[in-house]
Amino acid sequence: MSKRLRIAKKLLSDRGVIFISIDDNEQANLKLLCDEIFRGINFIAKFDWRKKTGANDAKDIAVITESILCYSKNRINTLQSGIWNRDVYSRNADRFKCEDEYVKTRGKYYLDTLDRGGLQYSDSLNFGIQAPDGGMIFPHGRDEFINDGWIWKWSKSKIKWGIENGFIEFVKSRKSKGSQYTIKYKVYELVDNDGNVKTDIGRAYSNLITEPINQQGNTDISNIFDGRVPFTNPKPLGLIKYLLLTLKCNSVLDFFAGSGTTLHAVMQLNAEDGGKRTCILCTNNENGICENVTYERNKRVINGYTKPNGEAVEGLHNNNLRYYRTAFVGRSRSVQNMRRLVNLSTDMLCIKEDLYTEKKQFAGQQTYKGVFRFFDDGKRQMLVIYHEEAIAELVPLIASTDYAEPIKVYVFSPSEDPWEAEFEDVADKVQLCALPQAIYNTYKRILPKPKDRNIAAEEQPTEPKQDNPGGLFDFTEEGGEA
């Protein structure tokens, strides 16, 4: 767990946060471990989730909760970035009906009572307020000071400020003695500088999650899989949605993906609020879970499915779904290992650039997977060049193109030089990046340092046989095929 969390920390953005679900058996140990790795100052909260309603087999105390620890990489950056959402979904917009002279800057408002009873009584909050008719108003509609447990919600200084700045309103009442007024305070919508109602206000989300319970996860997945539950104890969709709603996040990574609830939740939220969140899942394929559960579940969510009761569920069609297998490449920087790394990393480049549409031709020239590949979604273009010898042939082709933005060109280089001199004639048409150096730099930040080894003794993997283009793009190298 320690190694995984240290890698997870490196993957976090400077304003990112991590959620870790844990039961009572290891919660204390995990908290200490996270305090060490993320530092205690970056602890955000411990969410208490009521995962079931009871435990009939309990011999002492029925434990019905589970913990979810939340840490940031840098608490100050996280707070200053405004990453936390406010719970605006529980607010009733119909309540905001009243208007005053501040409507353009504060929006409409409703009136709420300024007194309260039964909570932390204090004489300092039990005082009279002079009304417009000269009478005095006390909490709970009294005409004099009495300690009956009722107090004002605001202090004297805040009430004075509220009266002076239009946040307090005196309302005529039917009282027969004393003041003919009661006092209330205004709760405004709040608007931005353009007069639009703000949507990022409201109460902070609570760390107590009372629903959904764990059983709902079984219901969620059985609805998708024709009544079957192909995965034990999947997390409920609503739980993950709640955690995601606490954040203004663009990218979500779940490296213990399980049944794929996180991706389902991301797609569902995007459909509900128009968000543009992206999600990456990582899992092994033990017992075929990746292919048969994780991938299959979310494929059905995108395409649509029918519940066991016959109800048709419309698919979340505005989504892409792909899965990739990981592979091992030797650490030594031999030419063969480096080329193999670049070839295997092309899918990762597609994820990085969010560009997956591969074309069979570039500027009229057929592409070859062992030499170069071209991706184009109509808005952005990417060339991945595996053999530097192909640059001389590709530069004239690049010169003949007329794209709105420069082509992102990833080119194999045994060093950090992306062959800028060779692309000088088309410098305004390309954005260059050297491979595999960019990949090595990424891995260097994440992976432990390799132990010294005899490079010559390392077994070199056999390159998969590539299509042989022949002609201008027929390149070979010492030690094997291109």
Q: What is the 3-state secondary structure (H, E, C) of 11-64?
A: HCCCCCEEEEEECHHHHHHHHHHHHHHHHHHHEEEEEEEECCCCCCCCCCCCCC
Give the domain-ending residue among 147, 172, 201.
201
The answer to whether residue 122 sits within a structural domain is yes
CA distance 263 to 256: 12
Residue with tokens 């319970």: 213
> Per residue in 216-227, is it b (16+ CB within 10 Å) or e — as a string?
bbeebbbbbbee
Q: How many CB atoms lie within 10 A of CB 126?
A: 20
| Beta carbons of 222 and 229 less than 8 angstroms apart | yes
Cα 14 from Cα 5, distance rounded (Å): 16
Q: Which domain holds residue 8?
A: 1-85
Q: CA 292, 3, 437, 344: dihedral to nearest 10 degrees?
A: -20
Residues 354 and 466 in one domain: yes
Per the listing, tokens 């239009």 go with 166
Comparing CA positions, the residue from 236, 253, 239, 255 lying closest to residue 1 is: 255
**Does 146 map to a domain?**
yes
Residues in the chain: 482
Please, which pLDDT band fits residue 475 given cuts at 50, 70 and 90?
Answer: low
Q: Which of 43, 68, 85 is the last residue of a domain?
A: 85
Residue 216 maps to a domain: no
| SS3 at position 237 | helix
Give the span between the Cα atoms of 371 and 142, in whole angstroms. Answer: 87
Residues 353 and 447 placed together within one structural domain of the fold: yes
344 plus 459 within the same structural domain: yes
Write the burial class of residue 355 (CB in 10 Å: 0-12 exposed, 13-18 middle, 19+ buried). middle
Could you report the per-residue pLDDT of 305-339, keeping only the tens digit for each?
999 999 999 999 989 888 888 877 776 777 777 77
Is residue 261 assigned to a domain?
Answer: yes
Quote the pLDDT of residue 450: 58
- Please indicate, yes or no, whether residues 467 and 341 belong to a single structural domain of this protein: yes
Contacts of 19 (CB under 8 A, 6+ apart): 47, 68, 69, 70, 243
State how far the Cα of 411 lies from the Cα of 390, in Å rounded to an integer: 10
Q: How confident is the model at residue 453 (pLDDT cuts 50, 70, 90)?
A: very low
Q: Specify whether 141 is located in the same domain as 262.
A: no
Residues 269 and 291 in one domain: yes
Is residue 308 located within the same domain as residue 340? no
Asked if 51 and 66 count as a contact pair (C-beta separation under 8 A), the reply is yes
21 found inside a domain: yes
The answer for residues whose C-beta is within 8 angstroms of residue 450's C-beta and 6 or more apart is 331
Q: For residues 366 and 344, what is the distance between their CA atoms, to the nearest angstrom?
A: 21
- Which pTM was predicted? 0.64
Domains: count for the chain: 4
Confidence grade of residue 201 (pLDDT, cut at 50, 70, 90): low
pLDDT tens digits along 334-393? 777 777 888 888 888 888 888 889 999 999 999 998 899 999 999 999 999 988 889 999
Where is the domain boundary, 281, 303, 323? Answer: 323
Helix 261-273 × helix 237-245 angle, to 10°: 60
Residue 286 — pLDDT band, cuts 50, 70, 90? confident
Per-residue pLDDT, averaged over 171-176, amounts to 70
Average pLDDT, stretch 73-86?
82
Task: Read off the tokens for 294.
Answer: 């994780």
Distance (Å) of CA 290 to CA 189, 297, 298:
46, 10, 11
Domain membership flag for residue 29: yes
Res 197: pLDDT:
56
In a shared domain, residues 437 and 368: yes
In a domain, 143, yes or no: yes
Q: Does 451 lie in the same domain as 340?
A: yes
pLDDT band at 87 (very low <50, low <70, confident <90, very high): low
pLDDT, the chain, mean: 84
Evaluate whether residue 481 is within a structural domain. Answer: no
